[in-house]
Chain A
Amino acid sequence: MIEGRSITKRFGSNTVLEDITCSFEPGKVNLIIGASGSGKTVLMKCLVGLFEPDEGEVIYDGQSFTALSHKERKPIQQEIGMLFQGGALFDSMTVKQNVMFPLSMFSKMSYKERVDRVEFCLNRVNLVNVGHLYPAEISGGMKKRVAIARAIANQPKYLFCDEPNSGLDPKTSLVIDRLIEEITEEFKMTTIVNTHDMNTVVETGEKIIFIYKGKKWFEGSAAELIKSDIKELEEFVFASKMMRAFRQQAQS
């Protein structure tokens, strides 16, 4: 289980996260929702160690990650896969090389085994015949899928996804959401997804954490979210007609 305890993060005098305590359930897709600029990415980067929180700590399976040195963190970091908002594929490498990269750097696999693993991961995200192309030559949805394939190449225990469906059309978004759900179940990962997409909330919300202006306002299931009457949720979740309709349905 991954936990954040009283995480505070500042950039200069700008407090981006304030006293956030949250936990993420193993084997599930956990959502962090909030408007743009509310601090989702910063929270996620604190959880994986790309940012150091100014106060508070991050706990992996009961062990404090924050207290570890960079070297001591390596074994945990090897278990983390991350999907970045823009995909963050390496421009200078083909799709295949991108997926193979973490394997070449860290696994003890032979070349043949690595090629097979790449093939498997690309197939798993339903990508065929694009292995030889460069990131600039494929569509946004494909990029996200390659990034997922790269993130799962080393069989991580934890998968972090920063806005996996930003910039995608609703149908492709749904495909990516489904894919994340499926692989989470299939590979028994703990997945954390940042999103501001209400569709995702309705479709996949098993455990939801709501961040507003750097503070946590809600933690619970989608059903609880719909019923909740926290004022801050009005500004974000129930700003959409769809969500208000859902609330009405749930209340009646």
Chain B
Amino acid sequence: MRYIFSIGQYWIFMARLVQKPERFRIYMRQIFLEMDAMGFGSLGIVAVNSAFMGAVITIQSAYNIVNPLVPLSAIGIVARDSIILEFSPTVIMMVLAGKIGSSIASEIGTMRVTEQIDALEIMGINSSSFLVLPKVVAAVLILPFIVLISMFVGILGGWLAGDMTGACPSADYLKGLQDSFVTFNVTFALIKTVVFAFIITSVASYQGYFTRGGALEVGKASTRAVVFSNILILLFDYICTQLLLV
């Protein structure tokens, strides 16, 4: 019962976002600020995660391929496809749900419990649109680039690790990378990224916006934001894969 109420409340909240902004120029500035924070702010964590995951995927694939009939270049194919299809768009976005989602939920939640949202409303500003729309738009615009960077760094990490450990020599890895490359896989990954970016920002904003109480509840809202967006990312990962790949 509470979940049905929440889902209804979420969609009403979303409907309020798409109303006409009061001052377009101020919205644009907010969008750029958010893009800067989400984009540059996430580069470090994304790069470190991607490099190590790429390395691990490569070494594990090499470890698993023991049949002498399977060429070593298969390691390059496996690393490339798992990074592009699943790792960068899904796992990295789950990591970002932790970083971006919790920060949005606690920012908006704090604004709620300290009455800053009431202060916006009393001025006649549509607070949900003013606070949330720039975040959603910024995430949808900037996170695909972050995911592209993650793919690049992940594949690079795999290459370096394979070469350094001797698990997969450079030449084989590079040959594998070029072997039967499907460009649609990248498009598919970016479509997923956009869906996940929307989920992370809207769910976190919703959790923050309807916080009631004090600092403790802000913390709880932030935790719920991460948990729910992770679950929804996995669910929509499955749905997108069924719809677009199968």
Q: A residues touching B (Cβ–Cβ < 8 Å)?
A: 45, 48-50, 74, 77-78, 80, 82, 84-86, 88-91, 101-102, 104-106
Residues of B near A90 (CB, < 8 A) are 111, 116, 119
Q: Which of A86, A89, A106 contacts B123 (CB 8 A)?
A: A106
* Contact of A48 with B122 in the complex, beta carbons under 8 Å: yes
Question: Chain A nearest CB: distance from B234 CB in Å?
Answer: 33
Closest to B110 in A: A91
Q: Which of B22, B114, B125 contacts A86 (CB 8 A)?
A: B114
Residues of A near B124 (CB, < 8 A) are 74, 77-78, 106
Taking the complex as formed, is B118 at the interface, i.e. its CB lies under 8 A from any CB of chain A?
yes
* Contact of A105 with B26 in the complex, beta carbons under 8 Å: yes
Cα of A48 to Cα of B125 in the assembled complex, Å: 14
Residues of B near A78 (CB, < 8 A) are 124
* Contact of B23 with A104 in the complex, beta carbons under 8 Å: yes
Cα of A115 to Cα of B147 in the assembled complex, Å: 42
Q: B residues touching A (Cβ–Cβ < 8 Å)?
A: 22-23, 26, 110-111, 114-116, 118-119, 121-125
* Contact of A77 with B122 in the complex, beta carbons under 8 Å: yes
Q: A78-B124, A105-B23 are in contact. List 6 more A-B contacts (CB 8 A).
A: A50-B118, A77-B123, A90-B119, A104-B26, A105-B26, A106-B124
* Contact of A50 with B122 in the complex, beta carbons under 8 Å: yes
Residues of B near A89 (CB, < 8 A) are 116
Residues of B near A102 (CB, < 8 A) are 123
Question: Chain B nearest CB: distance from A94 CB in Å?
Answer: 15
User: 3 closest pairs, A vs B, by CB?
Assistant: A88-B115, A88-B119, A84-B115
Question: Chain A nearest CB: distance from B1 CB in Å?
Answer: 14
Closest to B114 in A: A86
Residues of B near A101 (CB, < 8 A) are 123
Residues of B near A91 (CB, < 8 A) are 110-111, 114, 116
* Contact of A84 with B118 in the complex, beta carbons under 8 Å: yes
19 A-B interface contacts by CB (under 8 A): A50-B122, A77-B122, A77-B123, A80-B122, A84-B115, A84-B118, A85-B115, A88-B114, A88-B116, A91-B110, A91-B111, A91-B116, A104-B23, A104-B26, A105-B22, A105-B26, A105-B123, A105-B125, A106-B22
Closest to B116 in A: A88
* Contact of B118 with A45 in the complex, beta carbons under 8 Å: yes
